[in-house]
Structure 1
Amino acid sequence: MILGEDFYHVISGPFPVNISAEIVVKWVELANMGLPVAALSAIFGPLRLKSQRRTDLLRPYVPWALRMGSSCKPLICVEWEKNWETPISQLKRSLGISEPPVDFKLWMDLHRQQKS
């Protein structure tokens, strides 16, 4: 079974599957679909992160996620199976999805370096 959640990670970022990325995707889902479970995860999920990491994550990504999620087409209505052959950049354009303010891979790499 294919879940839309998996596609939201790819189309909005791409974002990997980890707690930090999941929080960003939940903010996108909240703004785009208004799902109560997304609201709970977006609001309470960051509490699992250390204070500095939480601030570093939320400051650039939440405003973008709210703006992008509220302005792009409803992601829950996308028939993902019909778009297998569509390049991601083209699909993003057609859905009105903007690029994140900071490349998430670079963000994760920076936090790994700060940890060591």
Structure 2
Amino acid sequence: MYESLTRQSVPWEAVIALDGADRTRLPTPLAGDSRVCILALPRQVGAACARNLALGCVRTEFVNWADDDDEFTDDAMTVRLRTLEMTGLGWCAGYSEDLHPSVFRPTEALCGR
């Protein structure tokens, strides 16, 4: 995720919620980037709770959710920002590559695939 963010052409900031993980495990470039805020939770609370807590650290007008194993195309943030600015919509969605798809696929389970 971080590498794809560094290729974006628009300004960005990131909030990383460490869900009980050791802060020293972060790669040095990520930990030292002034655009990155690290929210180190003292114990595991789960992905949804960690994301909600991280939302309180956001200082920007727009928010984009992503996991550490997601990757954006080089123009992803530009396309999303332009869409929001041109349309005045309250939200938009875009593509990101999931480098490590989960084993459980809810649509397959629900549809019997």
Give the TM-score normalised by structure 1: 0.28
Q: Which structure carries more helix by proportion?
A: 1
Specify the structure having the higher radius of gyration (Cα).
Answer: 2
Q: Which structure carries more strand by proportion?
A: 2
Give the TM-score normalised by structure 2: 0.29
